[in-house]
Amino acid sequence: MNSLALSGSVTMSVTQAGQTVTVQASQAALSDSVVLYTTEISGDLNGVTVTYTPASPPSSLPSSLQLTSPVMHALIATAGAARISNVRTTIS
């Protein structure tokens, strides 16, 4: 994929040993050979809620896809460049 843009309230959380680290940003943009790995992704695709997993992958995807309200589990993303705006980190 050439690029990935996330906007709105981008929130990433990791909990380990009873502590949660949460990183919030107003937007994130990845570009230059973006690869996205996730164990599950769900969201709204043209008004229909969809969920994709390794056991239930999409049959095909268009070259340009807009998934609103996405939720991803065990996310790893790689890219040649990243731009993240208005970052706030909290530990609880």
> pLDDT digit string (tens) for 3-22?
888 888 888 888 899 999 99
CA distance 26 to 15: 21
Beta sheet of 48-52, edge-to-edge order: 48-52, 40-45, 68-73
Residue among 24, 34, 47 nearest 4 (CA): 34
Which of the four pLDDT bands, split at 50, 70 and 90, describes residue 26? very high
Can you give the residue ranges of every domain in the chain? 3-91
* pLDDT surpassing 80 at residue 87: yes
Which of the four pLDDT bands, split at 50, 70 and 90, describes residue 86? very high
**DSSP designation for 52:** E
Q: Evaluate whether 5 touches 36 at the Cβ level (below 8 Å).
A: no
How far from each other are the two terminal CA atoms of the chain, in whole angstroms?
35
> Which tens digits make up the pLDDT trace of 37-60?
889 999 998 899 999 999 998 888
pTM, whole model, 2 decimals?
0.69
